[in-house]
Chains A and B, each alone.
Chain A
């Protein structure tokens, strides 16, 4: 089995955290709905988390392309460039709220 990209590992970690299960039990072939039990709302919440992790905006029309874990991995890899190395830069930190006066 080829080595997993850093992106794939981070997505599985995010999924594991969201689903409260061991990331190692989540496989690329798993369908978000049928295998992992995510309904459309849960998928939106998961993608909200992935947008944060990778500092991405995922347009509504791309949602239907994301049926399996492998689709999500391929999509994110396509959006952030080549499969990232383990030294990928962390997502940009949000600016602290401005204080007045």
Chain B
């Protein structure tokens, strides 16, 4: 069994739009979803080094969801539910007409249910009343709460997994969904990435880690600037992306619309450092090479890179070094963009939203701009990065995602042809 795997449905919840239509339109227009951070109750905002974020300000779960699931899950799982619902509806896959044990759910989440997590911990220590910890606390903060609730909402009874590899979580989710279907263990997998952890404690933690941008607190839209000389850290975002991955025979049988093929995947560990990438970029290059090999694609065939590019001084430079190492002169002939320049770093959602972008880029030939790439850093400059939208037929796209814990993932997408 070695099934081809295709994408038949997409969903997006992002700081630049809820729903794939809004998200993609805003992305092509180069709209920024980064703004001054919304206050955290009465905590002193000035004590946070970074005060910008890609937050979703107009999210009312009841507009998108009904049923008993909505209020009993954390914000990240609500995002996951909305994105999964959109993707399923887009795919036309009706699980009630399928063998439900052949439909899986794989969710990537980096932080999980931190909104309730932080609230309950704070209340426990303030009130000193352990008997008032909410009964729904454990089911909410358990890291698989999103994958559980997504499967429940749709009756998907196949394997139900959560992958948590920090910022590479949902790139891994796409890859593991590919392997699951390719090996014949499922006909389709609802693949989601979600995170909503712009919370007082997590945000403070990233500030303390000195991972976030601090020089653009007065000009939030300028803060996320991958590959630019003035970049000074990433900007936290939140959201969810969803993709319905399906075996080609199954998709064909039900005459589904096919966005693109998921052709290859690789996951590696640098086994190096919890938060610092290897500066030579060789492990990143190896990960991309392995993914291309899995897809039976040569580096010279790659047209487009959806870069991990978080806007940190070291991370962007390492990724470009790896691209130059693997692709040699082709590195300057490929189109490259950084979705995080618009929506910030959505952590566990980043890979899935990047996957949505790759699918749409393959289908439409449109590449969204990279915002704030105003003064290219010589260590990062590539000819294919632009502050303008670009258009060119694309056959092969590659998605990169790297996560704390020394994790690397790369996914190869191919324009679908029968």
Taking a contact as CB atoms under 8 Å apart, the answer to whether B275 and A97 are in contact is no
B residues 122-147 in Cβ contact with A at 8 Å: 125-128
Taking a contact as CB atoms under 8 Å apart, the answer to whether A41 and B233 are in contact is no
Given that A99-B128, A100-B126, A101-B127 are known contacts, is A60 also in contact with B273, CB under 8 Å in the complex?
no
Which candidate, B102-110, B209-217, B348-356, B369-377, is the interface stretch facing chain A? B209-217
Residues of B contacting A41 in the complex (Cβ-Cβ under 8 angstroms) = 209, 273-276
Give chain B's interface residue range (CB within 8 Å of chain A): 10 to 19
Jot down 28 A-B pairs with beta carbons below 8 A, ordered by A: A39-B273, A39-B276, A40-B276, A40-B314, A41-B274, A41-B276, A44-B208, A44-B209, A44-B210, A48-B208, A57-B49, A59-B49, A59-B214, A60-B49, A60-B210, A60-B215, A60-B233, A61-B215, A61-B232, A63-B210, A97-B125, A97-B126, A98-B126, A99-B126, A99-B128, A100-B126, A100-B127, A101-B127
Residues of A within 8 A of B (CB): 39-41, 44, 48, 57, 59-61, 63, 97-101
Residues of B contacting A48 in the complex (Cβ-Cβ under 8 angstroms) = 208
How far, in whole Å, are A97 and B122 apart by their CA atoms in the complex? 10
Residues of A contacting B276 in the complex (Cβ-Cβ under 8 angstroms) = 39-41
What are the 6 tightest A-B residue pairs by CB atom distance, in nearest-first order?
A: A100-B126, A60-B214, A44-B210, A60-B210, A41-B275, A100-B127
Residues of B contacting A61 in the complex (Cβ-Cβ under 8 angstroms) = 214-215, 232
How far, in whole Å, are A61 and B215 apart by their CA atoms in the complex? 9
How far, in whole Å, are A61 and B217 apart by their CA atoms in the complex? 14
Instruction: Name the residue of chain A whose CB is nearest to the CB of B127.
Output: A100
How far, in whole Å, are A100 and B122 apart by their CA atoms in the complex? 11
A95 → chain B closest CB, angstroms = 13
Known: A97-B125, A99-B126, A100-B126; 16 extra A-B contacts, CB below 8 A, are A39-B273, A40-B314, A41-B209, A44-B208, A44-B209, A44-B210, A57-B49, A59-B49, A60-B49, A60-B210, A60-B233, A61-B232, A63-B210, A99-B128, A100-B127, A101-B127
Most buried by A among B126, B127, B210: B210
Instruction: Name the residue of chain B whose CB is nearest to the CB of A43.
Output: B210
Instruction: Name the residue of chain B whose CB is nearest to the CB of A101.
Output: B127
